Amino acid sequence: MAGTLPGTTAEAAPDGAAELLWFQEVDKGAVAVVGGKCASLGELINAGVRVPPGFALTTAAYRRFVREGGIADAIRELTTGIDARDMDALEARSRELRALVEATPFSMALEDSVAEFYRKLGVRCCLPATPVAVRSSATAEDLPGASFAGQQDTYLWIRGIDDVLTHARRCMGSLFTARAIAYRAKMGFAHDAVAISVGVQKMANSFAAGVMFTLDPANGDRSVIALDSNFGFGESVVSGEVTPDHFVVNKVSLDIIGRTISRKEICYTVDFSAQKSRAQEVPFERQTVQSIIDEEVIELARMGKAIERHYGRPMDIEWAVDKDLPAGGNIFILQARPETVWSTKPPAEARPAAKTALDHILSGMLQGKRVT
């Protein structure tokens, strides 16, 4: 189903293509339809990984939005004749484009479809007006070698259908950030041919959260999982606002072989009255306390290993430990994408193939051994 949909030709999208899909209905073959992020979440769910539930507004939904909103011509006009080197002009165009997208309403029919999915999600989570994360899910962003992580938008603690729709439009507008426009110009992609998907996913109410790489980002070592963690939501870790706790777990034996507990001065928690996350100071006596317990570190590493095995490549994973759920069912994977720094590097040392063990012993002896 997913693979049959054309991903880059707006006009060619046939009417009746699914505009909303549950994550579990998609897999990694659906990048053109639901973007890399949502496809990856669907893939994870189908691989048996615990992921908070949610759904995607597909690229078909985006195209319908553009078509029904009557903004296709305006977009074409505004993206024509841009000098990608003129940053000021680029920024100005970006602002105009985003404002245009954000101000254009969804059609009633599309709004109703989104509202119905959101209602069903609330039923599934036993929580009406479930707080969700609304994220853009671009069709090219997470492909290895073309990483523009962070370029698209994520809005957390969104509650109620009106807010969901508003932020979905904001996410769609993120197709026109200055960097994205410049990148497409540089790569020769047509601005009106690209489309974007939006993911709507239940928020994990994290006690602690962070990221993990299924290799050591410091040296590319494939035999370890490196994990960063802080109290609260993962924002503080992803943004680099705190020095998180750092764990190195042996991927083969699943034991913790490195551990640095940092002073974590702030963390993000939800402000229920404002319906958003906000930074707050970690109580002094907790600042140097390990943010997740060893068992959770190991369970996460186990999940990371399974995810890597499923994708057959090193992965970059966001995770959370939910405080509303009991131990054993409280660890969630929020996002997983291919690691792009080390995976695209050629092997560091192109040593000649060894003839015998002795050749190696000799060359090793001649090189000497630095031990630090």
Partner 1 sequence: MPTFPNPHDIKAIPGTEGWERMYPYQYQFVTDDPERKAYEEQTFWFYDGLHYPEPLYPFDTIWDEAWFLALSQYNNRIFQVPPVRGVDHRIINGYVYISPVPVKNPADIEARAPHFMERAGYYYKNWDALEEKWKQKMKNTIAELQGLSIPTLPEMEDLRVVTEGLGESKGFHLIKAYDDLINLGIKCWQYHFEFLNLGYAAYVFFLDFVQKQFPSIPVQRVTQMISGIDVIMYQSDEELKKLARKAIELGIEQAVTFSQEWSEVEPALKKLPKGKEWLAALDKARDPWFYISTGTGWYHHDRCWNDAMNVPLSGIATYIGKLKQGANIERPMDQVRAERDRIVKEYRALIEREEDRKTFDELLGTAKTVFPYVENHLFYVEHWFHSIFWNKVREVAAILKEHGLIADIEDVWYLRRDEVKSALWDVVTAWATGTTPRGTKTWPKEITWRKGVMQKFREWHAPPAIGTAPEVIQEPFTIVLWGVTNKSLADWAAVQQVKDPSTISVLNGFAGSPGVIEGRARVCRTVDEVRQLEEGEILVAPTTSPSWAPAFAKIKACVTDVGGVMSHAAIVCREYGMPAVVGTGHATKVIKTGMLLRVDGSTGAVNIAR
Alpha carbon distance 242, 245 (integer Å): 9
8, 250, 262, 340: which one binds partner 1 (CB under 8 A): 250
Q: Which residue has the tokens 């002094």?
A: 284
Work out whether 83 is an interface residue with partner 1 (CB under 8 A).
Answer: no
322 vs 326: CA distance, rounded Å: 8
Q: How far is the CB of 252 from partner 1 (least distance, A)?
A: 5
Position among 68, 192, 221, 265 found at the interface with partner 1 (CB under 8 A): 221
- The CA-based diameter of the chain, rounded to the nearest angstrom, is 75
Do 150 and 135 contact (CB within 8 A), yes or no? Answer: no
Q: Is-contact 226 218, C-beta < 8 A?
A: yes
Q: Identify which of residues 103 and 341 has a Cβ nearer to partner 1 in the complex.
A: 341
Sheet with 196-202: strands ordered across? 20-22, 54-57, 196-202, 132-138, 154-158
Which of 248, 300, 333, 336 lies at the binding interface for partner 1 (CB under 8 A)?
248
Site string for partner 1, 309-348 (x = CB under 8 A): --------------------------------------x-
Any alpha helices (H) in 188-323, and if so which ranges?
235-238, 294-311
For every residue of 182-216, DSSP letters joined together read HHHHHHT--TTT--EEEEEEEPP-EEEEEEEESS-
Which of residues 103 and 354 has its CB atom nearest to partner 1 in the complex?
A: 354
Q: Which of 100, 143, 185, 256 binds partner 1 (CB under 8 A)?
A: 256
CA gap 198, 57 in Å, rounded = 5
Least CB distance to partner 1 at residue 289 (A): 16
Q: From the CB of 348, what's the least distance to partner 1, in Å?
A: 9
Pick the binder of partner 1 from 108, 126, 274, 357 (CB under 8 A).
Answer: 357
Binding site for partner 1 (CB under 8 A): 216, 219-224, 248, 250-253, 255-259, 294, 347, 349, 351, 353-354, 356-358, 360-362, 364-366, 368-372
